[in-house]
Amino acid sequence: MSEAPGLFADGKAYERMMGRWSRLAGDVFLDWLDLPKGLRWLDVGCGNGAFTEALIARGGPAEVTGIDPSEGQLAYARTRPGAKSAQFRVADAQSLPFADGSFDAAVMALVISFVPDPAKAAGEMARVVRPGGCVATYMWDIPGGGLPLEPIHKAMHSLGIALPTPPGFAISRQDKMRAIWEQAGLQSVEARVIRITIAYSGFDDFWDSNAVPVGPAGQAISKLAPAAREQLKAHLRQQLPAGPEGRISYEAFANAVKGRVPAA
């Protein structure tokens, strides 16, 4: 559908690299949406179900449907005890296999930068949500330096190591996401920044979580020659802020946007 082969295909590795941060940001996002319980939700690009689980625990939904192009991610999502009540199926955000007005709310957590045509995805989400329902998304502010993997991006940049960034990375700016929502015809559009603390027990936890070829940075690391990989590792070990007992913590931040489908 949209991405480099193998990107986000491993649900277990994704959980350690990103799922835990997705849940933390997802909780803040869901509190901000402030929607009543008992709704029919669509989780677009649900991946391995990290956000789906937060949605079920916090949102008290009547039903949740999760869609994602990656069967590998969905296979992991189906094993989550906290997501047993959700229905998962393979589909693309740009062509949702649902009738108009099928849901009360549609959300897209950490996905918009990976969708080739984000405006089409927003239009599709608006179509499948009933009039008056909610359409919302959040994405790490990649151009602003808000990605949990930002230390790796910075280190690669300063060592002159190429990191292929998908064109959609610029979409994660708040003004861009707001414009896409407005162009999709959504009303009462609001945006905010979500800030969370990223915390690792030590450097090995940081490196082993992120140097796996599951996301764009991990894939680039896996292609490095052994000497370049060691150089990057040594650089990061030196640069990362180490607290008591070697613990590492820093802030990540995402932009969120929400709007309402116009009343019929």
CB of 113 to ligand SAM, least distance (A): 8
CB of 2 to ligand SAM, least distance (A): 4
Question: Which one, 48 or 200, has the nearer CB to ligand SAM?
Answer: 48
Question: Which one, 69 or 133, has the nearer CB to ligand SAM?
Answer: 69
Q: Is the dihedral of CA 237, 243, 248, 251 positive or negative?
A: negative
- Residue 48 CA, distance from chain mean position: 11
- The candidate with the shortest Cα–Cα distance to 73, out of 215, 208, 262, 255, is 215
What DSSP character marks residue 92?
B
Residues lying near ligand SAM in the complex (CB under 6 A) are found at: 1-3, 8, 18-19, 22, 44-47, 50-51, 68-70, 73, 92-94, 109-111, 114-115
Question: Which one, 69 or 213, has the nearer CB to ligand SAM?
Answer: 69
What's the rounded Cα separation, in Å, for the pair 32 and 133? 15
Kindly state the helix (H) or strand (E) to which residue 27 belongs, with its residue range. Answer: helix 20-33
- The candidate with the shortest Cα–Cα distance to 120, out of 77, 55, 194, 171, is 171
- The candidate with the shortest Cα–Cα distance to 35, out of 7, 59, 5, is 59
Q: How far apart are the first and last CA of the chain?
A: 32
CB of 237 to ligand SAM, least distance (A): 26
Helix (H, G, I), strand (E, B) or coil at 234: helix
CB of 6 to ligand SAM, least distance (A): 11
Question: Which one, 50 or 211, has the nearer CB to ligand SAM?
Answer: 50
CB of 49 to ligand SAM, least distance (A): 8
Question: Which one, 51 or 200, has the nearer CB to ligand SAM?
Answer: 51
Taking the CA atoms of residue 24, residue 26, residue 32 and residue 38 in that order, the dihedral angle to the nearest 10 degrees is -130
CB of 252 to ligand SAM, least distance (A): 13
Q: Which residue is nearest to ligand SAM (CB)?
A: 47
Question: Which one, 45 or 218, has the nearer CB to ligand SAM?
Answer: 45
Radius of gyration of the chain (CA): 18
